[in-house]
Amino acid sequence: MPDPNIGRLLSKRYQLQELIGTGAMGRVYRAKDVLLGGVPVAVKFLALSIQNEKMRLQERFETEAKTCALLGQKSIHIVRVMDYGLDDKNTPFYVMEYLQGESLSNIIRLQNLSVPRFLSMARQICLGLQCAHDGILVDGHIYPIIHRDIKPSNMLVIQDASFGELVKVLDFGIAKLLQSDGNVTNYYLGTLAYSSPEQMEGKELDNRSDIYSLGVMMFEMLTGKMPLVPTTSSFGAWYKVHRHQEPIAFAEAAPALQLPKALEDLVKNCLAKAPSDRPQNISEILEILSDIEHHFHTRLSLPQTDAVADVMMAKSEPESQTKGNSQISGASSEIPAIYSWPKNKPIADIVFPQPIRTNAGVAPSLWVMLPQEEIQKRLVCKRYNQFLFITVPHPMALWITVLYNRQHGAKWLPYYLDLKTNLGQEIANLMGQTGSYRLLFFAREFPGSCSHMLVSTIAPAQCQKLLEWVNSSRVMVSSAEPQMSKTLLKREYEKIKPMILAKLEGMNTNS
């Protein structure tokens, strides 16, 4: 039987086109805004009807709709409500931004989330919840909003051109609105598997009820399983486990899963039976997640290979060959002089990357300006490279190049690659694909053209890491300015410099 709503025109502007979702809260249709030239929108009809337009419920609906609209403007992690109204049957509806994405419930069902991806998603969800719990100013009053139905199917994951993988929370305020309807006050509203004990008891709820539901969802995101499993699917069985049963241990739910202890503790604390034993607000959870992200990523940022393997020996460049040869690239058909110092770059001791065209195609390169005397000291050297990577608060790689010989020591050439930019992604991709990069030297005294060229080879393990980092950075969301990630990487850089230098000094070499 065809859906009678297809083709309906709401408020003389929203034409319903296709049913795209159903649930306990209502039905969702894709529609077009005919007043804006057919712009796609999503229309959600709520599962209640206002029989008397002068009832307090209508006022309540308008307040909730205003609040949800303001929430979407305040936080990018909450779906934006653009309009609301009543249809000819007095059924309230919301008009929301139309987003093409995937439900978090589908993602969990089809694949295991990596810890970095989980942390990114959890942080985004918490930012949306924090915005709602802090409250919205409507008509001179602050209205804190408790979601009351936190679960994976109410989280939409979309691929955004600017932000990468973006998570948005759906259906704020709707559960409370439904509970205000005199026709349904005797019924439980929510989702049994994710409801807090106090929610199932019908008590007045605060933000800590959402935190319990968040704990259930985080456990499921990490393990693919529920932390509590009743004997039957009845209300009474679910109430019993939420009120009295201890959650399954992570080791039992996912024996192979390796999690930071702080993350396990966070999820367990969110699942505490008593609200007073849980984190008291989302800010506490965000702080813990931030600490976990920092420690987790800085610990895993180094490629899991011995750094000695990443020291590339100059196999065809003994000192006798390099003294009179200004081109030490091993590619004799390439003439460094064809590369000119960019006019928009200062004449100063700086380093920057740039893709260049060679006989073999496009290649990555690192352009270096130094005094002529300093360049001459480094023409006979061992080349070492290492890459550090951090995902939060902004995806960033630190590209470390070291030129070393015994007589003159080490020359450090670090560069920060922003992996949310086109240039950063292109350079990292090229290095991962080609397994090497060219070092183009420009003398400060003669800055017009390249004076010397060296080649630095990248270990296969690091090439693989670079490609993985580019792919993951495309879907990651930046939560702060890139400078914050640079600061964190610089700390790690200073920690490993003595270790790198010790390995270089320990090599049996005269260069």
Cβ atoms of residues 327 and 453 within 8 Å: yes
Give the integer Cα–Cα distance in Å for 248 and 227.
5
Give the integer Cα–Cα distance in Å for 181 and 58.
10
Cβ atoms of residues 403 and 511 within 8 Å: no
Residue type, 241: V
Cα 497-500-504 angle, rounded to 5 deg: 135
Helix, strand, or coil (residue 282): helix
Q: Is 306 a catalytic residue?
A: no
Q: How crowded is the C-beta side of 100, counted as CA atoms within 13 Å?
A: 2
Give the integer Cα–Cα distance in Å for 126 and 226.
20
Q: Which two tokens stand for residue 190?
A: 């929510």
Give the integer Cα–Cα distance in Å for 143 and 236.
33
Cβ atoms of residues 42 and 31 within 8 Å: yes
Cβ atoms of residues 182 and 245 within 8 Å: no
Do you find a cis peptide bond into 355, omega within 30 degrees of 0? Answer: no
**Number of helices followed by number of strands (H, E) in the chain:** 15, 19
Q: Which two tokens stand for residue 191?
A: 């989702």
Cβ atoms of residues 17 and 38 within 8 Å: no
Tell me the CA distances in angstroms from 322 to 316, 329, 438, 443, one per residue in order: 10, 10, 16, 17
Give the integer Cα–Cα distance in Å for 352 and 424.
11
Q: Please identify which residue in the block is written with the tokens 């290492």.
A: 386
Choice among 83, 139, 149, 265 that is catalytic: 149
Whether 12 has a binding-site annotation, put simply, is no
What is the rounded (10 degree) CA torsion for 124, 125, 128, 130?
Answer: -100
- Which 8-state DSSP code applies to residue 88? T
The binding site for ATP consists of: 44
The binding site consists of: 44
Catalytic center residues:
149
